[in-house]
Amino acid sequence: MADRHSEVLQGLADAVVQMDEVRAVELAHEALAAGLDAYAAITEGLSRGMDVVSQKYDNEEYFIPEILCCSDAMYAAIEVLKPHLKPEATAAVPAKVVIGVIEGDTHDIGKNIVRIMLDTAGFEVRDLGRDVSATRFVEEAQSFGADLIAISTLMSTTREGMRRVVQRLDEAGVRDRFKVMIGGPPTSGAFCREIGADAWGASASDGVRLARSLTGGEGQ
């Protein structure tokens, strides 16, 4: 059975990379029929496929049309799996997360996967979408009463916007009220430290683990 689970997970990843929406949906149903946890199917199957897609984008093997087709396959499978996600035990007051893609970037695939994972883990999430300014991140975090600000980018040309979020928090005198988590292919642990953020995720599946660690929030 373990071998079959591995095959299905690899198949989900491959279906995303190959832009095969029909196959992705078939394998999502197969994953459930085989007793695979829906969360694992997303994190260890679909998300792993999107990591490969991101690499292909960085290597200029895939471009925007391919990215969109890959994301269609992923979202179609997620719709099958979503009703079967098992919410984890939650605290009386869930930790709050503001999440978005930094200004200048409209690629939201990785951000969307992290948002789904955070929702499933019991966090209260406000999704700001794409092309979000540093000022808006700070304003929304304050109005929402967020514990964590999660910022994503797929483009090296926009990652400096992440630095501006931390700077705006400092300027507003509220830096100590919020943890800041960054992620995306052009980011790194070294860049995270350089800009004064609190944590960096190497992949979308790191999101919940880091959010728990930073906030003492859901799923602990």
Share of the chain above pLDDT 70, in %: 92
Residue whose pair of structure tokens reads 């995306």 in the numeric block: 184
CA angle 108, 111, 115 (to 5 degrees): 130
> Quick one: pLDDT at residue 159?
94
Residue among 27, 39, 80 at smallest CA distance from 208 = 39
The number of CA neighbours under 13 Å toward the Cβ of 1 is 5
Q: Based on the number of CB atoms within 10 Å of its own CB, is 209 exposed (0-12), middle (13-18) or buried (19 or more)? A: middle
Confidence of residue 89 (pLDDT cuts 50, 70, 90): very low
- Which spans in 34-177 are helix H? 38-40, 47-58, 64-81, 109-120, 134-144, 160-171
Mean per-residue pLDDT for 18-25?
97
3-state helix, strand, coil in the chain (%, to 5): 60, 10, 30
**Position 90 pLDDT exceeds 50:** no
Residue 192: C-alpha distances to residues 4, 25, 49, 168, 214 (Å): 38, 36, 25, 16, 14
> Quick one: pLDDT at residue 169?
98
Walk me through the domains of the chain, giving residue ranges and CATH numbers.
Answer: 2-84 (1.10.1240.10), 96-215 (3.40.50.280)
- To the nearest whole number, what is the mean pLDDT of the chain? 88
82/162: higher pLDDT: 162
> Quick one: pLDDT at residue 198?
97
Residue among 89, 114, 142 at smallest CA distance from 199 = 114
